[in-house]
Amino acid sequence: MAQAAIPLMVAGSLVKTVGGYQAAQHNAGVVKAQTAEERSLGVAEVERIRSSARAAMGRQIMGIAESGFQPGTGSARTAIEESLINRELDVMMSRRTSEGRAGGLDMQAKQIKRTAALGVVSGLIGAAGQIAGYMGNYAGAKNVDNYPVTAKSGKI
């Protein structure tokens, strides 16, 4: 192997390492954007649940009042309290679900970044190993059976 090819092979290894790192960083950014979107969707879902529950409870109160019962007393009050409790349980479940998905995406982004950093270290060690291997091969090729191989010695 020509000695001029050694730097090119090492440079190729380093370019591959840097390219892998940049791709991983991009992928981590995409996952982070998904995390933010998941959290936004969770907030919107909570607002949808609360709005829907308010409308349902309004209809419930109107129905109670129209039937001649006092809306804030007795079983009418119990029904409204149960509706409020159910609304808050729905909100808590929605928050837990969206935050769980967002947390999973956060962990995925961190893992992508860790893998990228280890890929860079691996690539640098590999490039150094290539250089050492090529230098050893080159040094070994200078001597055959403990005789130096040069153009002047005539031995090949």
Work out the angle at residue 153's Cα, subtended by the Cα atoms of residues 151 and 156, and round it to the nearest 5 degrees: 70
> Each residue of 97-128: pLDDT tens digit?
999 999 999 999 999 999 999 988 988 888 88
Q: Residue 97 contacts by C-beta under 8 Å, 6 or more apart in sequence?
A: 42
> Each residue of 134-145: pLDDT tens digit?
776 666 666 656
Q: Name the band, by pLDDT with cuts 50, 70 and 90, for residue 4.
A: low
What pTM was computed for the model? 0.62
